[in-house]
Chain A
Amino acid sequence: MIADLIEAIAKILFVFGVNMGFFAPILGWVERKQSAVMQDRVGANRADIFGFTLIGLLHPLSDTIKLITKEDFIPAGANKLFHTLAPFISLTPAMITFAVVPFGGQYEIFGRRINLVVADLDVGILFVFAFASLATYGTVLAGWSSNNNWSFLGGLRAAAQMLSYEVAMGLSIIGIIMVYGSLKLTEIGAMQTDFFKWGIFLQPIGFILFLTCAIAENKRAPFDIPEAETEIVAGYFTEYSSMKFIMFWMGEFLEMVTISGIIVTLFLGAWHLPFISDERLLSLFGFAGPNGSIIMLMMANIATFFGKIIFMIWFQMTIRWTLPRFRYDQIMKLGWKIMLPISLINIFITGLVVLLK
Chain B
Amino acid sequence: MSDLAKNLHTEHMVINMGPSHPVTHGTVKFLVTLDGETIVDFDVEIGYLHRGFEKMCENSTWEQVFPYTDRLNYLSPIINNVGYALAVEKLIGIDTPERCKYVRVIVSELSRLADHLTNVAASGLELGAFTAFLYFVEARDLIWDLLESVCGARLTSNYVRIGGLKNDLPDGFKEQTKEVFKRCRELWIDVDKLLTKNRIFIDRLKDVGIMPPDEAIAWGFTGPCLRASGVPYDVRKAQPYLVYDQIDFEIPIGEKGDNFDRYLVRMEEINQSMRIVEQALDKLPDGPINVDMPEYRWQSKDDIYTKIESLIFHFKTVTGGIRVPPGEVYFPVEGANGEVGFYLVSDGSGKPYKCRVRPPCFPLTAAMPRMVKGALIADIVPTFDMIHMIGGECDR
Contact = CB atoms under 8 A, between A and B. Distances in A.
Interface of A: 35, 38-41, 149-150, 152-153, 157, 221-222, 224-225, 228-233, 321-330
Contact of B378 (A39, A149, A228, A323): A228
Interface string B176-205: 000000000000000000110010110110
B22 A229 contact: yes
Interface stretch (B126-134, B167-175, B278-286): B126-134
Nearest to B379: A327
B92 interface: no
Contacts of B195: 324
Contacts of B37: 153, 157, 328-329
A228 B128 contact: yes
Contact of B381 (A39, A222, A231, A233): A231
Contact of A233 (B21, B127, B129): B21
Interface in B1-42: 13, 15, 21-23, 37
Interface size of B as a range: 20 to 34
Contact of B204 (A38, A150, A322, A324): A324
Nearest to A157: B37
A330 B202 CA distance: 12
B263 to A, nearest CB: 12
Contacts of A41: 134
Contacts of B23: 230-231
Given A322-B194, A325-B127, A230 B22 contact: yes
20 contacts: A35-B130, A40-B135, A40-B138, A149-B13, A153-B37, A222-B200, A228-B378, A229-B22, A231-B23, A231-B381, A321-B131, A323-B128, A323-B200, A325-B200, A326-B203, A327-B379, A328-B376, A328-B377, A328-B378, A330-B204
A329 B204 contact: no
Interface of B: 13, 15, 21-23, 37, 124-131, 134-135, 138, 194-195, 198, 200-201, 203-204, 376-381
B15 A149 contact: yes
B201 A324 contact: yes
Contact of B129 (A150, A229, A323): A323
A230 B131 contact: no
A224 B134 CA distance: 20
Given A39-B134, A321-B131, A324-B200, A230 B15 contact: no
Contacts of B13: 149, 152
Contacts of A228: 128, 378
3 tightest A-B CB contacts, nearest first:
A325-B128, A39-B134, A324-B127
Given A35-B130, A321-B131, 4 more contacts: A149-B13, A153-B377, A231-B378, A327-B378
A323 B199 CA distance: 9
Contact of B22 (A39, A153, A233): A233
A252 to B, nearest CB: 15
Contacts of A150: 15
Please indicate which of the listed interface residues A153, A157, A230, A323 has the most CB atoms of chain B within 10 Å of its own CB.
A230
Nearest to B24: A230
A245 B124 CA distance: 26
Contacts of A152: 13
Nearest to A224: B128
A230 B134 contact: no
A327 B203 contact: yes
A322 B134 CA distance: 12
A327 B138 CA distance: 28
A37 to B, nearest CB: 11
A260 B148 CA distance: 48
Contacts of A321: 130-131
Nearest to A321: B131
Contact of A323 (B21, B135, B198): B198
B204 A230 contact: no
B134 A40 contact: yes
Interface centre among B130, B194, B198 (most CB of A within 10 A): B130
Nearest to B190: A40
B377 A230 contact: no
Given A40-B138, A150-B15, A230-B22, A322 B379 contact: no
Contacts of A327: 203-204, 376, 378-379
Contacts of A230: 22-23, 125-128, 381
A150 B21 CA distance: 11
A330 to B, nearest CB: 6
B21 to A, nearest CB: 7
A324 B15 contact: no
Contact of B198 (A149, A225, A324, A328): A324
B195 to A, nearest CB: 8
Contacts of A231: 23, 377-378, 380-381
Given A149-B15, A231-B23, A231-B378, A324 B134 contact: no
B124 A324 contact: yes
Contacts of A323: 128-129, 198, 200
Contacts of B379: 327
